[in-house]
Structure formats: C-alpha cells, structure tokens
Amino acid sequence: MSNTDNPFSGGYGSAAATTTVSYGGAAPAASGALIKDTTTSGFSADVIAESKNQPVLVDFWAPWCGPCKQLTPIIEKVVNAAGGRVKLVKMNIDEHPAIAGQLGIQSIPAVIAFSDGKPVDGFMGALPESKVKEFIDRIASPDGGRDAAIQSALDAATEAVAAGDMEQAVQIYSAVLAEVPDQVAALAGLANCLIDLGDLEQAKAVLEQVPANKKDDASVRAAEAKVALADQAAKLGDPIALEAKLAANPGDHQARFDLAMYLNAAGQRDEAADHLLAIMKADRAWNDDGARKQLLQFFDAWGPADQASLTARRKLSSLLFS
C-alpha cells in the first residue's frame, strides 16, 4: 500500500495544528483488559473513544491469515509488557469487514495506532518482536505524542509568520505555552510576533518568562536583540527629515545611522545594512566603531541564516579584509 493510498501516513496532530494544540487525554485506568476483540458496532467505543485515554492499536486479522497467527503472540506479549501505556483491539475482517474497507486496509495483518480519536501510525505484516516493541514505544511514549503535537504546532506557527498572519501565530504559540510554559521556541516566537504587532511591552514580558538556564538560546537572543532595536528605533526622529539631512550632507553619519535603524524597523534589512557599511567605509572609527557594532546587533536579531545577514556579512568581510 503506497503512502498515497495510506490514510495513516500523516504525523500526529498535523490536521489540526493550525488552530489548536491537542495532547490526548488522561492516563489510562489501572483496571480493564489491555487486549480485547471488537465489532463494527463496538469500534467507536473500543477504539475512537478509548484512544483519547491512551493509544489503541487495532490489529486487523483473519483466521486464514498465516502471518496474522505469527504476529498475534508477539504483539500481545509486547502490549502486556507495556503496562497499560497502550491497548490492543483485535478485529476479524471476515466477520467485520466494514471498518477495514473504510480505512483502506488492503492486506493483513495490518496494525493501526489510534491516538486522540485519530489514526496516527501503522504497519503491515508480521514484524519481529523488536520492531513491534519499537513501534509501541514510539506510539506509547509518555511524551512522544505531546512532543509531536508541539512540533507540529510550532511548524504551523512558522508558516503563519511567513504568510504574515501574526495574530494566528500568536494564538498557536499561546496554545503551546498553555501546555508547556517554558517552551523556548514558543516564547521566542511569541515575543517576535508581539514585536511585529507593535506590542513591545508584552514582548518584553514574554521574554522575562524564559528560564535562566535557557537565556542563551539563539532564538531568545535574537528576540531580545529585536526588542532592543525596536526600542532604539522608537526614540529616533522623523525618517523623512533624516533622509533630507542625508541628501543635503551625505557625510552626516549620525543621520545615516539613524536612518539605518528606521529601515531595519521597517523590514528593509539590506538597505539598513548598506547604510551602516557606508559609514564604515567612510570612517571606520566613527562613534567608537558604532556602525560595525550596530551591524552585528542586526545580525543577532535577524539570525545567522537570514539572507540579509549572509549578504551583509559578505560585504562586511570584503570591507574589512580588502
């Protein structure tokens, strides 16, 4: 069965991550059988509902299937050894073919893992015990589902930022932080969104929530540099007046420096860097090497992989070492 035919090829939480973050349900109850047979009518309660408590594996089999008979004792042994982290539900497709047909099961044995009411992973064929254990450990890991959901949400937030939808990104980052308050990528991402939305004070408050031992994280440092730049830009004068001053006197390094700050705040990174490089080319010592220091602060805020950083670093190297 190819991935295009397989409804289980997507990752955990991928369908809903653009709007919310879901992490499954409560811990499984201590009582109750870990392994049971189900029917078409019982599937909703035994699998869909139960998977909101812990992952449920559905073993689609038939009495005539030789590999099914090989897999049964293996998967039952590993499920029992998992100690309640996962349950196994067995469905005889000869007696109950409807669910397998709806899910596109084309050969057996087929084992599908459900979590939070949705199919999240699966395998086909009689795997050895070691591979079955690896599969169950991945599905039933105490934090595995949550971690996958968080990463899916962070990816969705990144996409929202790239699309210019800062409000949507704020909602996603906030949902992640509601579950994991010290999640660094979400804290830094939320702060960046708030800066872009013009809420500097709230962005600072978010960065204050970063744990002390994670302050050196690159994304946090970048967000802090961005806050500092926004603070500096807010204290500058009228950009139109700065442009007029610079047109009248191209050697007015302070006007050029201040204009660079405005251009950066407006998202015109290449132009901002070029103004600072122009100051360095004319007078490297101006303001105690202030243009170079400010350019390095831009790099911190933009991130090392940003195209503007890469371009300006090449120009800076040419200027310094030519």
Active centre residues (catalytic) = 65, 68
10 backbone φψ class: left, alpha, beta (φ>0; ψ -120 to 50): beta
* C-alpha span between 229 and 30 (Å, rounded): 55
DSSP class per residue in 262-278: HHHHTT-HHHHHHHHHH
Strand partners, 158: none
What's the distance, Cα to Cα, between the start and end of the chain in Å? 60
DSSP class per residue in 221-235: HHHHHHHHHHHHHHT
Q: 221 φ, ψ to 5°? A: -60, -40
Find out whether 123 and 77 touch, Cβ atoms under 8 Å: no
